[in-house]
Amino acid sequence: MSELDNANPLVFEITKDRQILPEEEDDSVTDKFDRREIFDLIRVINDPEHPLTLEELNVVVESNIKVDDDKNSVYVEFVPTIPHCSMATLIGLSIRVKLLRSLPPRFKVDVKIAPGTHESELAVNKQLADKERVAAALENSHLLELVNQCLSKRATG
């Protein structure tokens, strides 16, 4: 493998599991999507380079997520570990794909780099927002494999 972009990343502590309230298990109660649920979906995504999750690398944090269930909108900002991280597009794509696969199709999902945290912020954001490019990327078996690696459950041992 070639040299890593960021060989010694800072590792952060992970959040405790969400406490499930009794009303959340009650099927008769309409339960809107909230920020924590979106966070739980994406915090376990693997970093493409390190054997760590996006949460452990502080790439995704709960406070950078906005959800409006009534307006069908989910907005996620992520922070690449370093400003010239070459994996930023792949990380963004993985977050997008995870949410597209997990959420009901009524949701409009926007994934962006947190302002000021990457050199090619605008270019990466534009690419991630282009649904045609995302659709084409997901038909590319090599790229799809990389995304699926990020989304697979890592074997713990």
Partner 1 sequence: MHHSLKEVQQLTGHTDQVWCVAWSPSGSLLASCGGDKTIRIWGKEDKSWVCKSLLTDAHTRTIRALSWSPCGQYLAAASFDATTSIWSRKSGEFECLATLEGHENEVKCVGWACTGNLLATCARDKSVWIWEVTADEEFECASVLSTHTQDVKCVKWHPACELLASCSYDDTIRLYHEASDDWESCAMLKGHSSTVWSVDFNKDGHRIVSAGADASLKIWQDYEPGNPEGIATPDNLPVWKCVCTIGGHHERPIYSVNWCSLSGMIATASGDDSLCVYQEISTEDARNAPKFEIAVRQKAAHLEDINCVSWNPVQKGLLASCSDDGNIKIWQLQKE
Q: Is 66 in the site for partner 1 (CB under 8 A)?
A: no
Tell which one of 3, 25, 139, 145 touches partner 1 (CB under 8 A): 139
- Residue selected from 126, 148, 149, 152 as contacting partner 1 according to rule CB under 8 A: 126
Dihedrals φ, ψ of 43, to 5°?
Answer: -70, -20
Instruction: Give the pair of three-digit tokens for residue 68.
Output: 């409006």
132 touches partner 1 by CB under 8 A: yes
Site membership for partner 1, residue 136 (CB under 8 A)? yes
**Scanning the structure block, which residue is given the tokens 């009303």?**
23
Judged by CB under 8 A, the residue of 29, 130, 148, 154 near partner 1 is: 130
Q: Could you tell me the CA-to-CA distances from 73 to 35, 68, 70, 95 in Å, in that order?
A: 11, 5, 8, 15
State the number of binding residues for partner 1 (CB under 8 A): 12
Q: Is 131 in the site for partner 1 (CB under 8 A)?
A: yes
Contact 48, 85 (CB under 8 A): no
Q: CA nearest 40: which of 9, 12, 19, 69?
A: 19
Sites of contact with partner 1 (CB under 8 A): 105-106, 108, 126, 129-133, 135-136, 139
